[in-house]
Amino acid sequence: MNMNKFLQNNTVLKILALVMACIVWVIVHAPASSPTGAASVMETFHRPIHVAIGPSMTLAAIHPSEVSVSVTVSAANAVLLSSQMQNVDATVSAVGLAAGTHELRVSLQGMPSVQAYSVSPKVVQVVLAGKASASETVQVQTSGHPASGGLLGTVTVNPAVVSVTGPDPQVKQVAAVIADVSVDHATHTITETVPVVAVDGDGHPVQGVAVSPSRVMVTVPIVSQHDHVTLVPQLSGNPAAGYAVAGVSLNPGHVQLFGMPTAISVDDWTLPVSLEGLSSSTTLHLAVPLSRGVERANPAKVVVQVNIEPAATRSFVNLPIQVINVPSGESVTLLRVQKEDVHVYGPVSLVDNLQADDIQVTLNAANLPAGDDEATVAVHVPQWLVVTGVSATSVPVKVT
């Protein structure tokens, strides 16, 4: 077949035209070449894995915790790829699964339009555990020291109780929830919102649990007020049968109190002293009690000497009744009874030396109404002695 016949054949011409059209289409749609000659680039990104779980389950572990995403794009689009990949989420779904270990396939959400991509690994190991919760009181842990002379007041936390949730084994490891606050060189009350951490018995953070709320408000008062007060023994209990208290002395009798001004604005400070069952003189070393708002005492302890002696009883007869506090312009007359018999109990050394003049029998006329009445009689004896009986607790009087 010569060239003219070849060119005159319609079928051949149609085939030739089709081939030429395909060549032109490939040339037009081929990727533009970069200056270096590379038509496309491949980059690798690491994305954390998010696990969707049911409400009764909690994530105990995942391995690995992230995947590598290898992406191929044209060189022209590579510039925007890093920012686009920030919106990509790697997820696995464990919704509806029971506690235990599961092999789950990774899905990518929000992938940009690219030439090709691959995920490694495609399957990850997820460990689920039953969800547990517990309530814990927040414990404040301070570090450092206030400025010179400063003391820590009573710490408050809001909220004081938080919830700890997570896998049952990890929740059971939680021994405390700690909030750390620095008081170093503090000169005034500190109020801060600080994170809280669940720790085990050794003080190490417990992994895999969540604390809600995760932050609490802590207030640490810094106080420096101090004052001197007189210690007053507050006796309680009774010595052994047949014994009595002959005296109580404190050394020192005054202490310094440090704390909030409203808590220490007093002159006397009570020191409880128990006499229960004592049958001989005793030396006690007692801590100075601290009330709310009082942080410490200087000294913190005092020496208490309690003198105990055998007890004795003695009676005094016909002691005169003294009428006291008679209002101006009034007259008080004792009717029938003008003297009292008094029985006294106490340590033998004081009872033996007691004189009738040491005992006062009085009738207070300050509030007596006019006319005939009964008035109460009071008996006063020296310290450490006790009145065990009187011949009459009240006497008839006439007020005019």
The answer to whether the beta carbons of residues 194 and 232 sit under 8 Å apart is no
226-310 matches 131-222 in CATH topology: yes
- Radius of gyration from C-alpha coordinates of the chain: 47
C-alpha pair distances (Å), 210 with each of 114, 128, 131, 132, 192: 38, 15, 11, 11, 21
The predicted pLDDT at position 146 comes to 85
Encoding tokens for residue 300?
């913190």
The residue to which tokens 């399957």 are assigned: 123
Q: Which uninterrupted H or E stretch holds 138?
A: strand 123-143
The predicted pLDDT at position 9 comes to 60
The predicted pLDDT at position 259 comes to 77
Nearest alpha-carbon partner for 51 in 94, 13, 102, 19: 94
- The residue ranges of every structural domain in the chain are 1-30, 40-130, 131-222, 226-310, 313-399
β-bridge pairing 215-220 and 156-158? antiparallel
The answer to whether the beta carbons of residues 250 and 302 sit under 8 Å apart is yes
Q: Which uninterrupted H or E stretch holds 29?
A: helix 10-29
Encoding tokens for residue 54?
């049911």
Neighbours of 235 (CB within 10 A): 13
SS3 category, 368: coil
Encoding tokens for residue 141?
């842990």
The predicted pLDDT at position 232 comes to 96
The answer to whether the beta carbons of residues 72 and 114 sit under 8 Å apart is yes
Q: What is the rounded distance in angstroms from the CA atom of residue 154 to the CA atom of residue 263?
A: 12
The predicted pLDDT at position 30 comes to 47
The predicted pLDDT at position 32 comes to 43
Q: What is the rounded distance in angstroms from the CA atom of residue 230 to the CA atom of residue 252?
A: 9
Beta bridge partner(s), residue 390:
342
SS3 category, 173: helix
β-bridge pairing 215-220 and 222-223? unpaired
Give the pTM.
Answer: 0.48
Whether domain 313-399 has CATH 2.30.180.10 = no
β-bridge pairing 360-364 and 371-380? antiparallel
Residue type (1 letter), 179? A
Residue type (1 letter), 248? V
Encoding tokens for residue 117?
């991509």
The predicted pLDDT at position 91 comes to 97
Whether domain 131-222 has CATH 2.170.120.40 = yes
The answer to whether the beta carbons of residues 152 and 181 sit under 8 Å apart is no
Q: What is the rounded distance in angstroms from the CA atom of residue 384 to the CA atom of residue 345?
A: 9
Neighbours of 380 (CB within 10 A): 11
Nearest alpha-carbon partner for 80 in 57, 114, 51, 50: 114
The predicted pLDDT at position 16 comes to 67
Give the architecture (CATH level 2) of 226-310. Beta Complex (2.170)
What CATH class has 40-130?
mainly beta
Residues in the chain: 400
The answer to whether the beta carbons of residues 392 and 350 sit under 8 Å apart is no
pLDDT in tens, the chain (400 residues): 455 555 556 666 677 667 676 665 545 444 444 444 457 899 999 999 999 999 888 888 999 999 999 999 988 888 899 999 999 999 999 999 999 999 999 999 999 999 999 999 999 999 998 889 999 999 999 999 887 667 787 899 999 999 999 888 899 999 999 999 999 988 788 999 999 999 999 999 999 899 999 999 999 988 766 778 999 999 999 999 999 999 999 999 999 888 777 777 788 999 999 999 999 999 999 999 998 778 788 999 999 999 999 999 999 999 999 999 999 999 999 998 899 999 999 999 999 999 999 999 999 999 999 998 899 999 999 999 999 999 999 999 999 9
